[in-house]
Amino acid sequence: MKVIFAGTPEFAATALKDLHEAGFDIPLVLTQPDRPAGRGMQLHASAVKQYAQQHGIEVLQPLSLRMDSKDPQRAAEAKAAHERLLATDYDVMVVAAYGLILPRSTLDIKPCINIHGSLLPRWRGAAPIHRAIEAGDDETGVTIMQMEEGLDTGPMLAIERTPIEAGDSTASLHDKLATLGGKMIVETLRKMQQQPLEAVPQPEAGVTYAAKIAKDEAALDFSQPALELGLKIRAFNPFPGACGQVDGVTIKIWAAEVIEADSKEAPGQVLAADAQHGIVVACGDGSLRLTELQKPGGKRLPAAEFIKGFPLEGKRFV
């Protein structure tokens, strides 16, 4: 089976690696253009591009696949990409976190199969892992589905569940789902080589949408319940990183524990900041014990180390 692969971040690179190591013929990879990153804002290749180049797989990086784009450059690149797809001998396109919309013209060439990091129809959209943690879901998983023009609405070929553990952040859950997705896409394609698979329509009930994460969501409002804030901290690790301000300084909060006991102090007030109790902050309901923090330009540190260089006793997060 010949597979064109379309994806961009590490989640997708894991699936590409698994397909390649399983022996599938991959004549072409699509990924997003190189983006500036880091302090120097140097152009960086996506994780998918890096893997493809390391293994001699041709890479195509159009700005868009929509030939009807009003932007002449995007339309021209989309047309060139479309012609390249038509000229390529392949059986199926596998898509994982590509980041570009596949128009009807692309979907009509050959079957397109998507690896999606949720239990569809829950958490359709751009940030299913973040939103599942933020919502306090007990479980999530991976769905392999046939692609159509709707947003993650296609019929399902395979679905597997995995629990969301109490200590899971988006970072840790991402890695679990990436591994699961890679395994599942290899199994699915191998089954397709043997016989056609039944595609099951998604249920109409239970649809939710995982909106893209905005940077301004990172600021914590300590008037909210500690339980909700704890979920946000886990959901926004590693991006965009939950934060609060103390004396005008923005402090990243990477990990915390929920304390159910209420305090009479105002939300955001630091109740304790010492080696014995850690950093405890009052919330609208309950309190949070902050366990890993980072000041601007500094390293991520355990609470006991952080307060040595940034005392918080008597301070208040706003």
Residues annotated as binding site for (6S)-5,6,7,8-tetrahydrofolate?
118-121
DSSP string, 198-216: PPBPPPSTT--EEPPPPGG
One-letter amino acid of 197: L
Query: Whole-angstrom Cα distance, residue 174 to residue 140?
Result: 11
SS3 7: strand
Query: Whole-angstrom Cα distance, residue 317 to residue 122?
Result: 34
Query: Whole-angstrom Cα distance, residue 158 to residue 155?
Result: 9
CA 237 to chain centre: 10
Query: Whole-angstrom Cα distance, residue 279 to residue 273?
Result: 4
Query: Whole-angstrom Cα distance, residue 318 to residue 316?
Result: 6
One-letter amino acid of 27: P
**What angle is formed at CA 317 by the lines to CA 311 and CA 318, rounded to 5 degrees?**
145
SS3 253: strand
Binding residues: 118-121
H helical segments located in the chain: 10-21, 47-54, 72-87, 104-107, 128-134, 170-194, 226-235, 303-309
Query: Whole-angstrom Cα distance, residue 50 to residue 8?
Result: 10
